Structure 1
Amino acid sequence: MDLNLRKAVLANVTGHSEDELEHTIVDAIQSGEEKMLPGLGVLFEVIWETAPENEKEQMLSYLAQGLKQ
């Protein structure tokens, strides 16, 4: 079976409002299920590809700070 995870995740959330996207992200994180991680990765990829350079630097700073805890 040929499954394109990126396409499936994007098809599942395309057209969602900001509130719906937030619910999807929060639900995935709170569930703690490993199977949700690839979907979050796809969403992060979209964020990263569309963010301006200064916001990428800020995201990296947040990530580095979070990993120090």
Structure 2
Amino acid sequence: MNLNLRNAVIHNVSGNTQDELRDTIVDAIQNGEEKMLPGLGVLFEVIWKNASDQEKNEMLQTLETGLK
């Protein structure tokens, strides 16, 4: 079976409201299941591709601080 993970994740959340997207993200993080990590990665990729340079810098600062 040939499954394109990116397309599947995007298809599953396309059209979701902000509240639904938040619930998806929070649920994936709280469950702590390894199988949810690729989906979160796809969502982060969408965020990154649609972020301005300033927003990217803010995300990188947040990430750097969170990893200290």
Specify if TM > 0.5.
yes
For the aligned pair, the TM-score class normalised by the smaller chain equals over 0.9
Structure 1 residue identity aligned to 2:18: E
CA offset at residue 12 of structure 1?
0.2
State the Cα RMSD in Å: 0.2
Unaligned runs of 5+ in 1: none
Q: TM-score, normalised by structure 2?
A: 0.99
Alignment of 1:25-64 (within 5 A): 25-64=25-64
Counterparts of 1:2 and 1:32 in 2: how far apart (Å)? 26
CA distance in 1, matches of 2:49, 2:32: 25
Identity %: 68
Query: 1:34 is matched by which residue type in structure 2?
Result: E
**TM-score (normalizing by structure 1):** 0.98
CA distance in 1, matches of 2:4, 2:23: 23
Q: 1:31-63, CA deviations, whole angstroms, 9 ceiling, x for partnerless residues?
A: 000000000000000000000000000000000
Q: Distance in 1 between matches of 2:63 and 2:51?
A: 15
Report the AA paired with residue 40 of structure 1: L
